[in-house]
Structure 1
């Protein structure tokens, strides 16, 4: 319990900074909707671009940009990428930081096992990520209510946000647990940021490639971001095949983290 509280306290300022930055970014993007709608973006001529390219970058339905759901679904995908980076960084730093900063000696002086260390850190960081995600989604929903077009259904918007909240939560937890697995293999957190960025962008690119051609569609399953893509969730609801893939990855990486960390030679 002491380690759980310590972990939460360590990330308190980081959590606050991320919430503020994402909230301001979301507000800025959503506040542009009325002006963008008046510009008639749905009338943009994108015929010169291949349909596969438009699909890969979620621009195949330009008419949807005239609604708050369609506009938010497209713009918020970039916030989803940032969310993946945040959760991956939490996981990648979690275990390696103790060795890098020399605090593993303090943990060893406590009556706590390696498995308890991993479990406490997983629960604490999952709570930190969940807090960030729920607050971010509540703020995003309120922002959409303020700037929505006349006649937009609040109940439909709420339902869409509820589905996106769940899908995005699973996405973040997946990146978090993959980050934990990487952290269990590292002895220093110096490369944590670069690994987190590489992990998220690599999987995002795999998703883009998977949508460019049907032969590569299987690559989409390696992209947690695509499992929670706002435009897709708002249009088709939750894609449970992608969610189940994320849950399998989440479960396996969680078990592997315990296994590797228990057998790891720690630098005390």
Structure 2
């Protein structure tokens, strides 16, 4: 029995739906870009932001010098919401990965086959990783396409490709971090009841902790508990990646995956 193939087919439909919805949102956001300059959006936004504190703007990942007539500033602001959705999707894939058979009672069927628990975890992990990479590829192609259509003449295609590629590498890392956290939770819980709220909760709890960390310098250390803040799209396009956040992300992923294998291998199943 090929668990990987079965899991991939099972997740394919929902993966395509997520890809199309998020891709459509990117296209919708970027389709509005050409009208920004005509509407005097820069002046409007600047006048509104002057009434807000710098710390509050930073909490929402908005630079005080943001220029919505600049395609990269606009893309960095717009695509952060897709990055949030991607983190949640990664968490959902992770949380639902190992618990489904146990919750639905089909784990007994798997045990009737010559399949080890290690192989079960590996097959399911590979399937959700591949589905997520497919999702990233689809929305990345759509983002590249619409940005090419609406880009100003002074923006080169090479610059566009480099910036968008960097942003989507960051989104992929965010997704993998939350996926690994979801996988760890999936190896612990006994039922898939409430799995989606758990997935959403994982992200938003960490996100709001990160917001608090940006409001006051004394709480800045809280940003390390918020994986989303490791790879904020607007920051990546301006400053690139920070090595410390890449190292932390890799450590989280490795620890969560290894722990998931260990816990699932010794878990008492509901058969």
Query: SS of the residue aligned with 2:160?
Result: helix
Instruction: Trace 1:109-258 onto structure 2 (pairs within 5 A).
Output: 109-258=112-261
What's the counterpart of residue 11 of structure 2? 11
How far did 1:28 drift? 0.6
CA contact (8 A) 1:30 1:143 kept: yes
Q: How far apart are the structure 2 equivalents of 1:118 and 1:63?
A: 44
Q: How far apart are the structure 1 equivalents of 2:137 and 2:206?
A: 23
Residue-by-residue CA offset, 1:49-101 (whole Å, 9 max, x unaligned): 11111112122244432111110100111111111111100010011111111
Residue-by-residue CA offset, 1:213-239 (whole Å, 9 max, x unaligned): 111111112222122211111111112
What's the counterpart of residue 95 of structure 2? 92
What's the counterpart of residue 28 of structure 2? 28
Residue-by-residue CA offset, 1:149-171 (whole Å, 9 max, x unaligned): 23112211211112112221111
Query: SS of the residue aligned with 1:11?
Result: helix
How far did 1:186 drift? 1.0
Query: SS of the residue aligned with 1:64?
Result: coil
Query: SS of the residue aligned with 2:67?
Result: helix
What's the counterpart of residue 75 of structure 1? 78
Query: SS of the residue aligned with 1:9?
Result: helix
Runs of 4 or more off by more than 3 Å in structure 1?
none
What's the counterpart of residue 38 of structure 2? 38
CA contact (8 A) 1:167 1:243 kept: no
Structure 1: stretches of 5+ with no match in the other structure:
none
Q: Could you say what the CA RMSD is over the residues aligned between the two structures, in angstroms?
A: 1.3
Q: How far apart are the structure 1 equivalents of 2:66 and 2:183?
A: 41
- Cα gap change, 1:182/1:63 in structure 2, threshold over 3 Å: closer, same or farther? closer
How far did 1:105 drift? 1.1
Q: Aligned match of 2:58 in 55, 68, 71?
A: 55
